[in-house]
């Protein structure tokens, strides 16, 4: 396998499956099975998951809600998703730990870098919930931050699209896909891979990002194996 320690970033919307909101049990179980295939190869896996299927902070703020309060609500939504993913993984015999940036000791450990690293070394999947624990930061920023803190080899951003395109391929069928991009090319072309804070943090720390389709069975395994799937953003 090409990578030994990875951080998988999943959007909350990905958990909806064909539903309009919430968590689709079949979709989350299918993700757990895909993660197990990689886990069985003794790859160390950390996961950051969004909360957009339940509540998106910036959306609440746009409707008049206090932005700080709305962002904290969004963080709690990621914890709900983390619990659901933890349950699905453990139902597939994958040991996990859920760590959160906001203390919720009844259901999760507080995030401690050394503890998270130790869990990974002991063969546990670590799910990071509640983003960075700070308002005004996205789960993309949390994914990059946690990946740097645990010394991950790569960030794998699992989406419903098979990479980065010149335009949104769901809106324009003539959009063309990039196989590889440099950080500078992404900035020059104005391509939206992650929010600016997350992307800049990744660039500064020379941490590659691979955007791929998580919904295609076997894709996650093949990306970790080093196959040319999705779009790789690197120096």
pLDDT digits 0-9 by tens, 125-152: 999 999 999 999 999 999 999 999 999 9
Q: Which one-letter DSSP state was computed for residue 148?
A: H
The strand ranges marked E within 5-43 are 5-10
pLDDT value at position 192?
84
pTM to 2 decimal places: 0.95
Q: What is the residue-averaged pLDDT of the chain?
A: 94
CA torsion through residues 143, 146, 152, 153, sign = positive
**Does 213 have pLDDT greater than 90?**
yes
pLDDT value at position 190?
87
pLDDT value at position 20?
86
- Identify which of 124, 114, 105, 102 has the alpha carbon closest to the alpha carbon of residue 47: 124
Mean pLDDT value across residues 80-105: 98
Mean pLDDT value across residues 158-176: 88
Pairing assessment for the beta strands 177-178 and 164-165 based on DSSP bridges: antiparallel
pLDDT value at position 34?
98
CATH 3.40.50.1000 matches 5-234: no
**Does 97 have pLDDT greater than 90?**
yes
**Does 60 have pLDDT greater than 80?**
no
pLDDT value at position 160?
87
Give φ, ψ of 17 to 5 degrees: 60, -130
Distance of CA 56 to the CA centre of its chain: 15
Residue with the two structure tokens 């539903």: 19
The strand ranges marked E within the chain are 5-10, 44-49, 96-100, 109-110, 125-129, 154-159, 164-165, 177-178, 180-182, 209-213, 231-234
Percent above pLDDT 90 for the chain: 82
Mean pLDDT value across residues 25-39: 97
The Cβ of residue 214 has, within 10 Å, a number of other Cβ atoms equal to 27
Percent above pLDDT 70 for the chain: 100
Distance of CA 185 to the CA centre of its chain: 23
pLDDT value at position 86?
98
Residue with the two structure tokens 């990905």: 14
pLDDT band at residue 56, thresholds of 50, 70 and 90?
confident
Q: Please state the domain extents for the chain.
A: 5-234
CA dist., res. 198 & res. 206, Å (int): 12
């Amino acid at each position: 396998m090409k990578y030994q320690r990875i951080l998988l970033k999943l959007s909350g919307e990905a958990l909806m499956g064909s539903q309009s909101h919430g968590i689709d049990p079949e979709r989350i179980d299918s993700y757990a099975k895909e993660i197990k295939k990689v886990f069985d190869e003794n790859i160390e896996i950390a996961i950051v998951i969004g909360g957009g299927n339940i509540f998106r902070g910036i959306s609440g703020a746009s409707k008049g809600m206090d932005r700080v309060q709305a962002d904290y609500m969004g963080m709690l939504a990621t914890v709900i998703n983390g619990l659901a993913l933890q349950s699905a993984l453990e139902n597939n015999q994958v040991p996990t730990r859920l760590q959160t940036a906001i203390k919720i000791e009844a259901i999760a450990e507080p995030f401690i870098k050394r503890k998270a690293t130790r869990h990974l070394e002991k063969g546990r999947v670590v799910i990071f919930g509640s983003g960075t624990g700070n308002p005004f930061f996205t789960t993309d920023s949390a994914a990059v931050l946690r990946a740097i803190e645990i010394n991950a080899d790569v960030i794998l951003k699992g989406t419903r699209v098979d990479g980065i395109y010149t335009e949104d391929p769901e809106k324009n069928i003539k959009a063309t896909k990039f196989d590889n991009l440099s950080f500078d090319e992404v900035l020059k072309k104005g391509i939206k891979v992650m929010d600016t804070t997350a992307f800049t943090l990744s660039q500064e720390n020379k941490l590659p990002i691979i955007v791929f389709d998580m919904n295609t069975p076997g894709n996650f395994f093949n990306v970790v194996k080093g196959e040319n799937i999705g779009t790789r953003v690197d120096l």
